[in-house]
A and B are shown apart, each in its own frame.
Chain A
Amino acid sequence: AAGVIQSPRHLIKEKRETATLKCYPIPRHDTVYWYQQGPGQDPQFLISFYEKMQSDKGSIPDRFSAQQFSDYHSELNMSSLELGDSALYFCASSFQWAGGRSSSYNEQFFGPGTRLTVL
């Protein structure tokens, strides 16, 4: 079965550079979530999109932005990178019922992650 695809898998950047992470959700999944996991930490929610619209926002720095495109893939853009941005970035996807509401919570499927190292 197809899974969530993330690219690149590894990325090394210098301070103050920019980075773009990409996420391709499972086919027919309409919701994408981004999480950041620092060393020894639990994953922290950054932002999510449903049907190409931002649906929720967490602890995402103003230096970061994200969007979901017409083909449902998503990109996380990170500017003015800092040492503290070094982390694993996970994308997850899920499928919501029509209208984005259902009585049942739907499982989020995680991608393999992108390891970002800022030097």
Chain B
Amino acid sequence: GENVEQHPSTLSVQEGDSAVIKCTYSDSASNYFPWYKQELGKRPQLIIDIRSNVGEKKDQRIAVTLNKTAKHFSLHITETQPEDSAVYFCAAPPGYSSASKIIFGSGTRLSIRP
């Protein structure tokens, strides 16, 4: 079945440094890869997404890269700030439908040290 693996499960970085979170997926038909940020008790918030027809996308301090051949995609946060502390989930909806469910990775708890 569909599966999304995410690493690391926890990540602590010094404020101002970069953070990288990596995911792999199993469904070769997946063509959309969103990243969500979730603060404690709040809803998942989409922070960036990438579609399979591009290899990289950037939005200010956040970037996502995709390697479809290897079925890898990664989130890069540069110049981290205290408000970046949260749990981050990658996701890879199955490619069988544009209305398909979201399959989340297991999450990465990111802590920014002052």
Partner of A107, one of B34, B41, B89: B34
Give complex CA distance A56, B103 in Å.
13
Size of the B side of the interface (Cβ < 8 Å), in residues, is: 24
Give complex CA distance A103, B97 in Å.
9
Contact A42 B106, CB 8 Å, known A88-B41, A94-B99: yes
Chain B minimum-CB-distance residue to A109: B46
Partner of B89, one of A33, A42, A45, A92: A42
Q: Which residues of A contact B65 (CB under 8 A)?
A: none
Contact A106 B41, CB 8 Å, known A42-B105, A42-B106, A43-B104: no
Chain A minimum-CB-distance residue to B34: A107
Stretch with Cβ within 8 A of B (4 or more), from A13-21, A62-70, A75-83, A110-118: A110-118
Q: CB distance B43 to A115 under 8 Å?
A: no
| A7 contacts B by Cβ under 8 Å | no
Chain A minimum-CB-distance residue to B100: A56
For residues 87 through 102 of chain B, which have their beta carbon under 8 Å from a beta carbon of chain A?
Answer: 89, 93, 97-102
Q: Smallest Cβ distance from A41 to chain B, in angstroms?
A: 8
Contact A45 B102, CB 8 Å, known A105-B32, A105-B93, A107-B34: yes
Q: Smallest Cβ distance from A29 to chain B, in angstroms?
A: 11
Q: CB distance A58 to B32 under 8 Å?
A: no
Partner of B101, one of A56, A107, A112, A113: A56
Give complex CA distance A58, B51 in Å.
24
Give complex CA distance A101, B100 in Å.
10
Q: CB distance B101 to A48 under 8 Å?
A: yes
| A50 contacts B by Cβ under 8 Å | yes
A-B CB contact pairs (8 Å), 22 listed: A31-B99, A42-B89, A42-B106, A43-B89, A45-B102, A55-B97, A58-B101, A88-B41, A90-B43, A92-B102, A94-B99, A96-B99, A100-B97, A101-B97, A105-B31, A105-B100, A106-B99, A110-B43, A110-B45, A112-B42, A113-B43, A115-B41
Q: Which 5 A-B pairs have the closest CB atoms?
A: A105-B32, A45-B101, A42-B104, A110-B43, A102-B98
